[in-house]
Structure 1
Amino acid sequence: MQVIGLCRFSYPALGGFQVEHDSLEARIAYLYGEARLEERFHLMETVALPCLRAQTDQDYTLVVVIGDSLPSRHVERLRNLTADIPQIQIRALPSGTHRQVMKQVLNEARTNINAACLQFRHDDDDAVSVDFVERLRQTAADCPGLIARNQTLAIDFCKGFTARFDADGIYATEVHRPYFVAAMGMYVAGGCKQTIMNFAHHKIARFMPSITIPDAPMFVRTLNSYNDSRQKDAKEPELTRLTARQEGEFEARFAIRL
């Protein structure tokens, strides 16, 4: 079964952000700001990409969507960062309505629209466990009855970490976050054109059956200067510095190195 991931890298969509802007030009100026892009590149290089390289199941595709307005030097940097991950496809697209564009991207990535697939979202500042693709595929295989009777099925690995990366170490706390973006996937039946982008991630269980698996940490959500979801004074959990042993576990589970 084909597994397709979607990552937006500073794509200037119309909608899709909790932080509002007065115009598309203002959004592009914000997204392409030098300080912001430097942090996004750093997090993508050290957090979002290593776990993809280390996946125990390498049979997946990740489409990285960028704006066709992204300056060429940044496009080249992104291509260089991802050159050793053959599963990654970079698509440069004009600005458009957020969900409509992303739904189209996912459906166009399907090698056979009449065959079932699994889909997931991957933010450029988060990590998933190195066995995420393997477990996503295995969980779908464990649910033949639900799959036979439904066009879509959510698969949610709801245990993970919130983390901040400082010069003196990694600060983190374990969290339970049902229907979070990271480490949540969706089964889509053959012939069905719905995608994981048809649904707000935290509302997906209103529209389809869902399997929730809390057995092991499966994601790392980073706290950084430009989290879209943190720009409205959301309260964050208290983080503590990882011990040397825990840093080793972070590396083994998420391929994140201090």
Structure 2
Amino acid sequence: MQVIGLCRFSYPAEGGFQVEHGGLKERQDYLYSPARIEERFRQFETICLPGLKAQTDPDFLFLVLVGESLPAPYAERLTRLLEGFAQARIVARPPGPHRKVCQDVINRARDLDQPCLQFRHDDDDAVAVTFVERLRGAAQSCKGLLENNGLVAIDFNRGYIARPDAQGLAAEPNLTPFYGVALAVAAQAGVRQTIMNFGHNRLNQFMPTISQTDSPMYVRGHNDHNDSRQKKHVKPIELPRLNAAGEAKFRRIFAIDADHVRQVYSNT
């Protein structure tokens, strides 16, 4: 079964942000501001990409949606980071309605005559190296449910919240249903709706769901530029520093290397 992931890398969509802007230029200025984009690149490199590149099942497609307005130096840097990642494909689009654009990007990449597994992925989040393998296994185990429904959500709801910095990683365990990471939708042949047509925390209102909670499958990246942290009255999250055993666990499960984190954050 085809597996497709979609990552929006500072794409200036119409809608799709919890914080609104006065117009397209204001949104682009916000997305491409040096401090913010640098943070996105650092987390994309150290948190997001390692586990995807190390998947035990490499048969998937990873679409990175960017705006056609992405400044050339950033576009070149993104291309360099994706070198050697055969599953990755950069898709540049002009601004447009968030859900419609994301739906079209996914559907153009899939075979609509066949069922498909789709997952959404933020550029500062990570999945376990077994994610695609486990996703296919869950779909196979619930084959009857999938065949009898146009859309079915598959949610791996146990993981971590983590903050990278020059000292390494601070993180704590987390269990949150429909968190938006390690979350997928199985779409049957001919179904044009995608995982991006729904708010991730409301998927269970529109389709049957499968919850997997046996092992950690995600890292939710935490930083000052998270879209959800731009709202008023957002309380800071205090995260404990990982010790050597915790760092080794992150390397084993997510391919996230705390030494690489320290290097990248110390050099910028």
The answer, yes or no, to whether TM exceeds 0.5 is yes
**Residue 138 of structure 2: aligned partner:** 139
The correspondence of residues 205-224 of structure 1 with structure 2, limited to 5 A, is 205-224=204-223
**Residue 159 of structure 2: aligned partner:** 160
**Residue 244 of structure 1: aligned partner:** 244
**Residue 184 of structure 1: aligned partner:** 183
Q: 1:20 and 2:8 equivalent?
A: no
Question: 1:236, CA displacement in angstroms?
Answer: 5.0
Write the deviation string for residues 169-217 of structure 1: whole angstroms up to 9, x where unpaired.
3111101110011100010001111100111000000111000011111
**Residue 9 of structure 2: aligned partner:** 9
**Larger CA deviation: 223-232 vs 196-205:** 223-232
Q: 1:204 and 2:203 equivalent?
A: yes
Residue correspondences, number: 257
Question: 1:237, CA displacement in angstroms?
Answer: 4.4
**Aligned partners of 2:112 and 2:191 also within 8 Å:** yes
**Larger CA deviation: 231-240 vs 119-128:** 231-240
The correspondence of residues 1-258 of structure 1 with structure 2, limited to 5 A, is 1-110=1-110, 112-232=111-231, 233-258=233-258
When the two structures are superposed, what TM-score results if normalisation uses the length of structure 1? 0.97
Aligned AA (2:71) = P
Aligned AA (1:231) = Q
Question: 1:235, CA displacement in angstroms?
Answer: 3.4
When the two structures are superposed, what TM-score results if normalisation uses the length of structure 2? 0.94
Write the deviation string for residues 138-170 of structure 1: whole angstroms up to 9, x where unpaired.
100000221121111000000010111222231
Question: 1:104, CA displacement in angstroms?
Answer: 0.5
Aligned AA (1:256) = I
Q: Helix, strand or coil: the match of 2:90? A: strand
Q: For 1:168 and 1:118, how far apart are their aligned partners in 2?
A: 37
Q: For 1:29 and 1:136, how far apart are their aligned partners in 2?
A: 37
Aligned AA (2:16) = G
Q: Which runs of 5+ in 2 are unaligned?
A: 259-268
**Aligned partners of 1:158 and 1:177 also within 8 Å:** yes
Q: For 2:4 and 2:19, how far apart are their aligned partners in 1?
A: 27
**Aligned partners of 1:173 and 1:237 also within 8 Å:** no
Q: Which runs of 5+ in 1 are unaligned?
A: none
Q: For 2:181 and 2:10, how far apart are their aligned partners in 1?
A: 17
> What is the aligned-residue RMSD (CA, Å)?
0.9
Write the deviation string for residues 95-136 of structure 1: whole angstroms up to 9, x where unpaired.
0010000000010010x2110000001110010000000000
**Residue 265 of structure 2: aligned partner:** none
Aligned AA (1:137) = R
**Aligned partners of 2:154 and 2:211 also within 8 Å:** yes
Q: For 1:11 and 1:133, how far apart are their aligned partners in 2?
A: 25
Q: For 1:168 and 1:9, how far apart are their aligned partners in 2?
A: 25
Q: For 1:238 and 1:215, how far apart are their aligned partners in 2?
A: 25
Question: 1:68, CA displacement in angstroms?
Answer: 0.3
Q: Helix, strand or coil: the match of 2:201? A: helix
Aligned AA (2:153) = A
Identity %: 52
Q: Helix, strand or coil: the match of 1:155? A: strand
